[in-house]
Amino acid sequence: MTKEKESTTVKQYKTTLAGRDLIIETGKLAQQASGAVTVRYGDTVVLATVVVGEEPREGVDFFPLLVDYEERLYAAGKISSSRFIKREGRPSERAVLTCRLIDRSLRPLFPHNFRNDIQVIITVLSVDKENDPDLVSVIAASSALILSPAPFEGPVAAGCLGLIDGKFIFNPSHDELLSSHLDLTVSFTDDKPIMIETAAKEVPEGKIIEGIKLIQKELKGVLELQKKLPRGEAAEFAQSDEIHQKIEKYLGKKLADAVEEADKLKREAKIADFEKMVMENFEGDYKQVELKEAFSQLVEREVRRAILERSLRPDGRKLDEIREISIEVGLLPRTHGSALFTRGQTQALTIATLGSPGEEQVIETMEEEGTKRFMHHYNFPPFSTGEVQPLRGASRREIGHGALAEKALLAVIPTREEFPYTIRLVSEILSSNGSTSMAATCGASLALMDAGVPIIAPVAGISIGLMTADEKNPKKDYKLLTDIQGIEDFAGDMDFKIAGTPNGVTAIQMDVKIQGLDLEILEEAMKRAKQAREAILQKMQKIIASPRSQLSPWAPRIKTVKIDPEKIALLIGPGGKTINKLIAECGGREITSIDIEEDGTVLVSSTDAKMGEKAAKWIENFTREVEVGEIFQGEVTSILKDRHTGKEIGALVKILPNREGMVHISQLADHRVANVSEVVQPGKIIPVKVIAVDKERDRISLSLKAAQEEKRE
């Protein structure tokens, strides 16, 4: 039976961060958790709880850490706009990305062989829209882990940096980030960055390094504050190396030879054969999961040993060598743009789709509301690694990789004014052997150009890996690896993805397995990545040097019409009757869509050029003012009679979709006309000239006689 946890005293720990108080409070909320804190920064408040399993989980060969980030609409004083569902549903994309950010900041600070379940839950209780709960959550999670019995080697803290008008801004607000050239988020231990997430608008590497150092300086007070928290008594766990020694002795040098097989499939087959031998030979001596884990760690050791001692990579490449690259564009006949990017055994097929402005994604989260016109989605099917798995919804990994490539490309996407389309990219990973997110980034850049999207510059990305001899002192002996493949990622200490244009960096994502990275190594990795990026961009530009001048014939064409904002209601009509009728007459919503903005901009999107032209012309005519002297081809709609005498006095003529004018009997001909019907009848098309416009009474006077005279002249 679990022993009741004794009541604890409420305590507060306070420091200043960027001129604002940051307060960690313990002992008040969630007292049955293994560790719990609330952290307040401004009016943003998050609750972090940690529960540590009492026993190792049976049958697992990985560290079972689970991080959940719970957005609550009440934190921002909101109720869901859905008419049917008012409680929070599945996590938003923003929440998933925040989970990953927190997880990546914490995971390297645990022993690799710890097998007790740990669940970290972050619940956002209040958000002020100035102080980012994501960063507060990293601090809160770290603090709660320190209080718990988890063998956590923190503390860790995160900070964000913006760059506006050449000046750094620490922890910028959401509004400030909209105009910033840099969104740099870094998690730090005492003296080393442990996680980096960056979106940038072609910012030089040197400027980013400068920003990382500034964040480190700002976070020192928060890290010192966490050290004042009482540490929980760490759970004990076995760390015997006996099993490794026995397996290593049994296999001898055979495993090293298998690891050095250049072909991935052959290498994996050989390693699988040796694993089977180990399982059979030591059956009964150890549990299967222990044998699998020990064998996996030995494979990892052999890869590391070959690279560190002989600079020998599994596929025989030099340390700074990129795998062979092949590129194709325009593969698919009916899509708006497509590209196939292959680097070694990693292959990404990216498809671009252009849509109308009305197809923008609607965003409603705890922190933001609005729309999104550029999207990149990433799919990682099991066949890409030769596996069998059920297909479910997008995983956290898929969402994270899709967002990274989206971030890398966002800096080069044209503005809505320059290119009013909604843009969706989908990267299908067809084969995976290292750094699929960067292959997706390259493929997406190529697909955009194939679709004719006028991007500012092409974007490419690469991943840099790291092998260290001593993870406590990485600088002592290390090797950087350009373009890591799967086995090097698995065995290595870092996955440092950097994307950018020829002019600078647009995105970074750095994950490490060691307890932080020395800045000197980080700078060297960025230089290595820049060299590789430039080489990949040259290969891309040989295939397609710039965006195509013409859109695909299957892409919609968008025509822009400007109208008087006061006439928007007239164009829409009661209950949308007028605009819906127009859409129906122009092929229906599958062919034509019309988006109206508050400033009177009307965007007509149609996959049928004639229908789009028809709709645009109709809107122009429907909303424009009639001027004296204009000549129209109008349809006679009715004959007007004097209501007292019954004598015909003129005709009504429709000159625009919503405007009629009167031709008086005296304006029908250059001679006297006895009856209007002698000259015109309903349904007849006649030329008419505008001879007067009475705006106050909304009347238009027309002349058939004047139109005919002008034609004769």
Which domains are delineated in the chain? 11-226 (3.30.230.70), 242-310 (1.10.10), 325-543 (3.30.230.70), 557-623 (3.30.1370.10), 631-712 (2.40.50.140)
Q: Counting Cβ atoms within 10 Å, is residue 36 exposed (0-12), middle (13-18) or buried (19+)? A: buried
pLDDT of residue 227: 96
pLDDT at 713 over 70: no
Measured between alpha carbons, how far is residue 377 from residues 5, 337, 350, 476, 574 in Å?
45, 15, 9, 40, 38
pLDDT at 264 over 80: no
What confidence tier does 239 reach under pLDDT thresholds 50, 70, 90? low
pLDDT single digits (tens) 358-371: 999 988 888 778 89
pLDDT at 5 over 60: no
pLDDT at 612 over 50: yes
pLDDT at 447 over 80: yes
* Cβ(198)–Cβ(188) below 8 Å: no
Mean pLDDT of the chain: 92
pLDDT of residue 163: 97
Q: Find where tokens 């980080």 sit.
A: 522
Distance between CA atoms of 199 and 500, rounded to whole angstroms? 10
pLDDT at 237 over 90: no
Distance between CA atoms of 636 and 651, rounded to whole angstroms? 7
pLDDT of residue 2: 43
pLDDT, average across residues 543-572: 93
pLDDT at 425 over 70: yes
Rg of the chain over all Cα atoms, to the nearest angstrom:
34
pLDDT single digits (tens) 633-649: 999 999 999 888 889 99
pLDDT of residue 279: 85
3-state SS track over 198-259? EEEEEECHHHHHHHHHHHHHHHHHHHHHHCCCCCCCCCCCCCCCHHHHHHHHHHCCHHHHHH
pLDDT single digits (tens) 202-219: 999 999 999 999 999 999
* Cβ(215)–Cβ(184) below 8 Å: yes
pLDDT, average across residues 290-311: 88
Query: Kind of pairing, strands 494-501 and 557-562?
Result: unpaired
The larger pLDDT score, comparing residue 690 to residue 365, is at 690
pLDDT of residue 3: 46
pLDDT single digits (tens) 13-50: 999 999 899 999 999 999 999 999 999 999 999 999 99
Burial 288-306 (b: 16+ CB within 10 A, else e): eeebbbbbbbbbbbbbbbb
Lowest mean pLDDT among 194-203, 235-244, 355-364, 600-609: 235-244
- Whole-prediction pTM: 0.89
3-class DSSP state of 161? strand
The secondary structure element, H or E, covering residue 116 is: strand 116-126
Which residues are bridge partners to 119 per DSSP?
A: 51, 66
What confidence tier does 1 reach under pLDDT thresholds 50, 70, 90? very low
What confidence tier does 7 reach under pLDDT thresholds 50, 70, 90? low
Distance between CA atoms of 2 and 389, rounded to whole angstroms? 38
pLDDT single digits (tens) 508-530: 999 999 999 999 999 999 999 99
pLDDT at 262 over 90: no
pLDDT, average across residues 390-395: 90
What confidence tier does 622 reach under pLDDT thresholds 50, 70, 90? confident
pLDDT at 82 over 90: no
pLDDT single digits (tens) 368-388: 788 999 999 999 999 999 999
pLDDT single digits (tens) 324-365: 999 999 999 999 999 999 999 999 999 999 999 999 998 888
Q: What percent of the chain has pLDDT over 70?
A: 98
The larger pLDDT score, comparing residue 418 to residue 286, is at 418
Lowest mean pLDDT among 117-126, 202-211, 576-585: 576-585
Lowest mean pLDDT among 293-297, 315-319, 439-443, 461-465: 293-297
Measured between alpha carbons, how far is residue 404 from residues 168, 197, 279, 353 in Å?
23, 9, 39, 19
pLDDT at 240 over 80: no
pLDDT single digits (tens) 138-163: 999 999 999 999 999 989 999 999 99
* Cβ(594)–Cβ(603) below 8 Å: yes
Residues 6+ apart with CB under 8 A from 306: 256, 259, 260, 312, 313, 314
Alpha-helical regions (H) of 53-161: 93-106, 133-147
